[in-house]
Amino acid sequence: MFARWGSFVHRFRWPVLAISFAFLVGTGYVAAQGGTLKGGGIIETSESGRALRIMRDELPQSSGSSFTLIFSSPTLRATDAAFKAEVERALADLAKDPRVRSLRTPYETTPPSTRLISNDGRRALAVVAVPDPISEAQKYYEELRGKVRSSSLEVTATGNIAITKDFNDILESDLQRAEIVSLPLALALLVLVFATVVAALIPLGVGILAVVGGVAGTFVLSRYTDVSQYALNVVTLIGLGVAIDYSLFIVNRFREELRRGSSTEDALARAMATTGRAIAFSGLTVAIGLSGMLFYEGTFLSSMGQAGAVVVAFAVVYGLTFLPALLSVLGRRVDIWRVPLPQGREGAGLWHDIATWVMRRPATVLVPVMAAILITATPFLSIRMANGDVTMLPKHAESRRGYDMLVADFAEYDKNQVTVVVRYAGDPLAGDRIPGLVALHEQLAKMPHVLTVESPFGLDPRALGLPAAGPITAQQYKQIYALRDQLPPPLRSALEQAVGKNIAVFSVLTAEPKLSDRAQQLVRDIRAVARPAGAQELLVTGLTAFDIDVVEFIVGRTPVAVAFVMIATYGVLFLLLGSVVLPLKAVVMNLLSIATSFGALVWIFQQGNLSQQLGFTPAPLDPTLPVILFCTVFGLSMDYEVLLLSRIQEEYARTGDNTRAVAEGLERSGRLITGAAAIMVGVFGAFALAEVVIIKAIGLGMALAVAIDATLVRALVVPATMRLLGNVNWWAPGPLARLYRRLALGEAEAARMRPIVVASSDPRSD
């Protein structure tokens, strides 16, 4: 089938090129239109997600978005008249903007609110709220930010809108930097592999085409579902690596067949029948790996899996259409513009010698290599996971600097807030419901590690003109809220922010850091509290609750996702190889590479080793990071396994000698796999230069996994295990073997092919 496809593309090369060009124009146009990419978002089905959604629907301060301005002075105090006058002058234009819903400063009350003034008294906050969600507000955020200028005070912006805008801008900058570094590096490595400029340029061109298609597909997805702001970086990373690798193998096989004396059409047909077939199966295994993210519906992982599968599909399609059509046009001119580089010796070479050396002493090689791999994987056993936050931004980003100021200088921001939402069917302040809510407030306030509880049931009696002899009783609250319209304006405003049509909200403040075990235990203790009589739900949200829910959500779905990826990959490899042993070995080999890269990530990014050299703040790993790495690395590592084993299978079908087939297969593909891996490591390494920590971690993790996979695993572990297994490598039960032969998907036919003679419609084809 693939040989016939190669002949078909050769005959209709110009129409195929025209269609490819039209497709490029179409995808380029879609990519240029752009789309709206979002942050991680919330898991709507989780308890914390449902609580946030209910609050957003019912409470005015929970809708829209905001950013915070920090005014600082080295000489003036925030309570000084000159400081106040300068703040009001700096905010004057912003306050008049119709897009600003509210603007809170310390000077709305007398004396000024201490909550909005720093501990040392030299900084003041202004909280700017807009009615639009973050995705819309960030489009005009820079314009609003530009209206705030001061000649005597330093102004720093942070908050949700500012942080999101910085993430998007820095991710775009990271992407541009990675492209500037990776494309020339990939070209240089391709020239080293091929020793000709034309052959080197072809895979790079296919990689760019695939990335354009992947970016277009990502923006199309963003119109129908939430797509992460990290998606473009990951799609570019995967697209460049996979497309360049696939093209490299096809171009190399095409040149190899030309050197054997085949015509252009015959060389293309054979290249498609062998390497083309291998990359089709490889594309399936990569897509299967990425499809593991689909099991995390409700997070951005699902859309990233879809976007990744789209770019891999483009890489395979262009590799089987545009690339062979271009090779048909070039023919033997693919080798022009030769670069004077040393040529490898004819016959058995370095990789043949390595394979032979390993297979003479397989157990001696296997034991220390496996021990080294397992030792490097051990840090993964101490992994801690938590949602990434603003600390993933570099310290020079304005919103990160502002966040660090808030945490260091404002007492309010040292506290971790756990939000409790009690939902009723109807007014929560109905008289018979108030005693239960008052009791809940008192119960929450007595819990370990709770500093204070802010709610409509913890009012200061003096603010209502009542004696300060003790707390307000439930009966008194009934009387107060029966006349809620007569409350003083500040109390009425606070009530509107804590009580909705069907909900009452309690803010539990603790000094325990959001990632601490005590904070997590506090959330679990609150969730175990019985809801008040008549309440339909008691929901807990906040940063700690969100961390717990996300980690539990991902951990709960991971076994099914991993099992699916492994079983589906096993099935595809059986269709490729006709063996039930080799697919199992391939899956185990992949797990070794992944385990090593996971161990390295924990050692570097969680434990903080190399943090100074790589420029990041150590922190627990984002729970999505292991998922992204497993799903991408499993597929990409299988890429080399497929290409190596398909070449070994070709030799085994020709000779029937397992040991010789391994040596010959590694000799034929080892150098190429090393070159392809070097290119992929270079591309991934360029993304490790990113300033956003999660992209840095993905790039570095994938680079490490591919480097280990292409060296230790493919060069040492694979030949050693295949030598120990011998002819068992190729075994399959009788019924499965007959099914495999009936499907006619084997490499044996391709291996036995004689030069294909097809009447050419173009006498100049050679």
pLDDT at residue 436 greater than cutoff 90: yes
Q: Which of 656, 660, 654, 643 is nearest to 752 (CA)?
A: 654
Percent of the chain with pLDDT over 90: 41
| 640 or 212, which is more confident | 212
What are the pLDDT digits (tens) for 637-688? 777 777 788 888 888 888 888 888 888 888 877 777 888 888 888 888 888 8
Instruction: Please say whether the beta carbons of 669 and 643 come within 8 A.
Output: yes
* Residue 439 pLDDT: 94
Q: Can you tell me the mean pLDDT for 339-343?
A: 68
What are the pLDDT digits (tens) for 115-170? 899 999 999 999 999 988 888 898 899 999 999 999 999 999 999 899 999 998 99
Instruction: Please say whether the beta carbons of 631 and 647 come within 8 A.
Output: no
| CATH 3.30.70 residue spans of the chain | 63-158
The two tokens of residue 529 are 């509290």
Tell me the three state secondary structure of residue 255: helix
Confidence of residue 40 (pLDDT cuts 50, 70, 90): low
Confidence of residue 349 (pLDDT cuts 50, 70, 90): low
Q: Name 493's Cβ contacts closer than 8 Å, sequence gap at least 6.
A: none
* Residue 138 pLDDT: 87
Q: Which of 273, 208, 101 is nearest to 752 (CA)?
A: 273
Query: In sequence order, what E strands does 295-423 have?
Result: 416-423
Sign of CA dihedral 603, 609, 610, 614: positive
What are the pLDDT digits (tens) for 612-648? 888 888 989 989 899 999 998 888 877 777 778 888 8
In 119-159, where does DSSP find H-type helix? 134-146
Confidence of residue 414 (pLDDT cuts 50, 70, 90): low
**What is d(CA 209, CA 203) in angstroms, rounded to the nearest whole number?**
10
Q: Which of 50, 456, 35 is nearest to 225 (CA)?
A: 35
How high does pLDDT run on average in the chain?
Answer: 86
**What is d(CA 267, CA 260) in angstroms, rounded to the nearest whole number?**
9
Instruction: Please say whether the beta carbons of 506 and 444 come within 8 A.
Output: yes
pLDDT at residue 471 greater than cutoff 70: yes
Q: Can you tell me the mean pLDDT for 189-213?
A: 89
pLDDT at residue 361 greater than cutoff 70: yes
Which uninterrupted H or E stretch holds 178?
A: helix 160-194
Lowest mean pLDDT among 453-467, 469-483, 561-575, 702-716: 453-467
Confidence of residue 96 (pLDDT cuts 50, 70, 90): very high
What DSSP state is assigned to residue 119? T
Confidence of residue 757 (pLDDT cuts 50, 70, 90): very low
pLDDT at residue 191 greater than cutoff 70: yes
Instruction: Please say whether the beta carbons of 193 and 672 come within 8 A.
Output: yes
Sign of CA dihedral 327, 333, 337, 341: positive
* Cis-peptide into 111, omega within 30 deg: yes
| 119 or 34, which is more confident | 119
| CATH 1.20.1640.10 residue spans of the chain | 2-33+165-339+554-749
What are the pLDDT digits (tens) for 538-595? 999 998 999 999 999 999 999 999 999 999 999 888 888 888 998 998 888 888 889 9
> Using alpha carbons only, what angle is made at residue 569 by residues 564 and 571, rounded to the nearest 5 degrees?
100
**What is d(CA 588, CA 586) in angstroms, rounded to the nearest whole number?**
5
- Phi, psi values for residue 297, rounded to 5°: -55, 135
Q: What is the pTM of this model?
A: 0.83
pLDDT at residue 348 greater than cutoff 60: no
Exposed/middle/buried for residue 493 (C-beta within 10 Å: 0-12, 13-18, 19+): exposed
Check if CATH label 3.10.290 holds for domain 63-158.
no
Q: Which of 580, 583, 720, 706 is nearest to 238 (CA)?
A: 706
Query: Would you identify the CATH topology of the domain 2-33+165-339+554-749?
Result: Multidrug efflux transporter AcrB transmembrane fold (1.20.1640)
Q: Can you tell me the mean pLDDT for 9-27?
A: 92
**What is d(CA 473, CA 475) in angstroms, rounded to the nearest whole number?**
5
The two tokens of residue 482 are 């029966």
3-state SS, one letter per residue, for 12-27: CHHHHHHHHHHHHHHH
Q: Which of 672, 605, 598 is nearest to 639 (CA)?
A: 672
* Residue 756 pLDDT: 38
**What is d(CA 271, CA 264) in angstroms, rounded to the nearest whole number?**
10
Q: Can you tell me the mean pLDDT for 720-749?
A: 79
